[in-house]
Structure 1
């Protein structure tokens, strides 16, 4: 750990450690106005030109996005040779798929997917693609925000208060749709996470909103069944499957999943991005309708 509870850094009072990554640590902190999350890059990474570019790029992308399902960025700076950024503190946990021999809560899964789909469609309108959509970047707070602006739910929509607890995080590999921006990875490295990577991303072709939709479908498969569409551990074989293999029928993995859900996800996973849906919310609404009143244990 770089800091201990009670330490002062860059005007923040450090609290408990929230997480440790390869290049930074995240702390619960207070700036005198209330709790927030403080991400502090370690000294070695702060000296790396590539790491600095990614750190600052994430802030500059995310700070422009204001949506109830996106973790809000506040400020960034440098102190004692380390870069830091502050953002909204989410008192909760990452989304996870069901463990082996257990079933998920379809209501929660659909709420998570709905919130993330709303966040992605908003980001796409702002001309930003996330490029690292996966359950680890989907946060679920313990309670809904206190606001009177919760939309009414339709007959097939998940509980809006549950959807309001969902937040999309980590814009470290996000890109403007016009492609303008710093080079964020070394040659030969793939942006994002391979189990959720769309074929066009792996081919080095232009990315688009449908690229995030592909990753969202991979995450949906994991949240509903515990496995991504292609649960392959060998990275070369996994990349080959993402680019060339026919999308699997997710509904065959669990008896309670309607065949319609498998068909919807297969379209999201089409190799040609033009063959996918026109938005992220569209397929998730269809999945919500198909899973309405489904109980995996019936």
Structure 2
């Protein structure tokens, strides 16, 4: 099937609008997800002749692995699927160029490169600790968003192609990009995280010099240079490079993986030291504690990153005499387990029987329109942000993650890098604020380590629901820490104020007046829908345990009415009974979706927020589909005159009703995750709290304007309204 023939076709719930690029591993389309009125990117993998169930299962396993990678600097996988002969992945479709585009403009000064390197390395460090190797690190797969953050894309696609391309798995096939391929990958040998470190080293060389270290007329000649040739001198190729930086790159580009840095944390720490003119950490691996100081990476289900596209672009039909092939290729080997044998520093004739299938297009990023010390209490007196707060222009790298310790959303974990050095008399203070009313409170101060990183863990002793109260985080440099931030704003982050309202309604409290067919409701939307689903769960179980058709029909009616919020007389006994609360699931789920939609369409909503909300929507969609399946089964049972032959379907209905509440560990890995067919209603609380997560950046100069704008839209009553708190004695 040709690439253009898919335009206008629907893959699952996604309508293909146009092709936006074609790379070596995927063709990328712009797609429309009509139900939420947003554009997505659809990455279609190459066709697989003889596709069978085992092939599809391998694809699904790899897709699930990718989807579990939830990190601020990794592009998220929204969805995946197969439709006839088409295997596809769904990711966000937003703007932002690639690192390749930035490099093409000019070599990067070490100070600029260092910030991006740290973010890329952090993403790789996280993935490697999950047991995932990228296998295709290159500038085209590193996206730069509008705020200057690096985002690593196309995780796992190389492995997908390897596992799903005929003649590759088990035959020593190679997949990767010649210009960035590690020696062991080029030889068809097993790879681990150190292979990615090598590829990252190539990228760093190119960032600093504007060119790749190995160039030649053909892809295979470039591959052979990776195996045999010593890397050129960084110091000679880059005007601003020091000998210490050259030493770090040589270690990262060592031919033997054992001679490289063990982890990306080691690599970035050594590069940081070298860039600062210190002796690089090139011989000592960092301890876990030191690595935490470099990245403070966390394996949490909460952060979904700012996302962008990669793996597609314009065609480039020829490679000149100084070609630097950056297109991902598949090298298919005819029966040799190891085609490259290194003797005396060169490869012997095994290379002659290697066939290179090189698609001569150069993938580019896709441009598209945007769819420590800690306080122990929240301050009793709510104070306000000073109108004169100002910001520095220093690059940023950090995130604030909300979580639950003693009560929902009562904790915040902050990690920040690139903190400026300051005098011993000054303090780096952390504040939470609300831009709608200016309310602010202090969380304490940070202790900066020698690498410029810091951590802060805060838990409110009163059980305050922090993501419902605050939508802004500040780090300021203070001569003395008072009740208000008075010093220079170093970093700041925020989410739209609509997030506070959405999370308050979702997890704490909302008041819904009575209507013609529904009673009034007050409480959290999530607790309301879970309560209804649990009652239905109970009655589906009672139907399955019935000893007569009449008894079963009674509970069939109950189950359907509870789920629908109706009182229909399904069993024709003269009375339509609903032992639930009379709302049904849609009453709550529709309102949850509406509240989340208000947040996601806000002008200042970023894709970190959009990605996190997507997790909740996956769970809502799962619950809705399971509800519909239960209703279909229970409706069918109503026509049965006996129980004969119904036991398996009754058990199935019970299982489905359990899934609605508890979720389903579909892939049997011991964890219920935000995947289609896995998470249910109970998982929404965890993902909901994380909707308030904030990425810290250095554009805090806009923050006072943000506060002023929000204040102008709020009446004085909103300013004096009490902030929401979590009441542990509340039934919700």
TM-score by length of 2: 0.33
Structure 1 residues 40, 47: CA separation in 2 closer, same or farther (over 3 Å shift)? farther
How do 1:1-298 residues align onto structure 2 when only pairs under 5 Å count? 1-2=4-5, 9-14=11-16, 17-21=19-23, 23-33=26-36, 35=38, 37-41=40-44, 45=47, 47=49, 49=51, 56=60, 58-79=62-83, 81-96=85-100, 98-99=103-104, 102-143=106-147, 162=148, 165-170=149-154, 171-174=156-159, 182=163, 184=165, 186=168, 187=171, 189-292=173-276
Instruction: Measure the CA separation in 2 of the matches of 1:122 and 1:188.
Output: 28
Q: CA deviation at 1:85?
A: 2.0
CA distance in structure 2 between the partners assigned to 1:4 and 1:174 by the alignment? 27
Deviation at 1:73, TM superposition (A): 0.7
Return the alpha-carbon distance in structure 2 between the equivalents of residues 57 and 222 of structure 1. Answer: 34
Select between 62-71 and 106-115 the one with higher mean Cα deviation.
Answer: 106-115
Q: How many Å apart are 1:18 and its aligned residue?
A: 3.6
Cα distance in 2 between the residues matched to 1:126 and 1:218: 23
Bigger Rg, structure 1 or 2: 2
Return the offset for 1:221.
0.8
Distance 1:16 1:142, change over 3 A: farther
- Contact 1:25/1:41 (8 A) holds in 2: yes
More deviation in 226-235 or 216-225? 226-235
Task: Give the C-alpha shift of residue 291 in structure 1.
Answer: 3.3
* 1:246 shift after superposition: 1.9
Q: 1:267: Cα distance to partner?
A: 0.3
Moved more, 238-247 or 26-35: 26-35
> What is the CA deviation profile of residues 214-250 of structure 1, one whole-angstrom value per residue up to 9, with x for unaligned ones?
0000111111112222122333332222112222221
The answer to whether the 8 Å contact 1:210/1:276 transfers is yes
Name the stretch that deviates more: 222-231 or 82-91: 82-91
Q: CA deviation at 1:61?
A: 2.7
Kindly indicate whether the alpha-carbon contact (under 8 Å) linking 1:74 and 1:88 is maintained by their aligned counterparts in 2.
Answer: yes
Equivalent-residue separation in structure 2 for 1:53 and 1:93 (angstroms): 33
1:290 deviation in Å? 3.5
Instruction: Give CA-to-partner distance per residue, 1:89-125, whole Å, 9 cap, x none.
Output: 342111126348x432444422222111111111110
Q: 1:103–1:270: structure 2 CA closer, same or farther, 3 Å change rule?
A: closer
Q: How many residues align?
A: 265
The whole-number CA distance in structure 2 between the counterparts of 1:286 and 1:73 is: 32
Deviation at 1:132, TM superposition (A): 0.6
The alpha-carbon distance between structure 1 residues 54 and 188, as it changes in their structure 2 partners (threshold 3 A), is same
Tell me the SS of whatever aligns to 2:151.
strand
Q: Tell me, what secondary structure is at the counterpart of 2:272? A: helix
Alignment root-mean-square deviation, CA: 3.2
Unaligned 5+ runs, structure 2: 278-732
> 1:53 Cα deviation (Å)?
8.0
Task: State the partner residue of 1:155.
Answer: none
Kept in 2: contact 1:40–1:82 (CA 8 A): no
Q: Which moved more, 1:27-36 or 1:210-219?
A: 27-36
Q: Is the contact between residue 113 and residue 284 of structure 1 (CA under 8 Å) also seen in structure 2?
A: yes
Local SS of the residue matching 2:212: coil
> Greater CA deviation, 24-33 or 224-233?
24-33
| Larger relative contact order, structure 1 or 2 (CA cutoff 8 Å, min sep 6) | 1
For the 8 Å contact 1:230–1:241, the answer to whether it is kept is: yes
Q: Deviations over 1:239-279 (max 9, x none)?
A: 22211222222121022111211110000111111111121
Q: CA deviation at 1:189?
A: 4.2
CA positional deviation for 1:130: 0.9
Q: How far has the Cα of 1:166 moved from its partner?
A: 1.5
**Residue segments in structure 1 that go unaligned for 5+ positions in a row:** 144-161, 176-180, 294-298
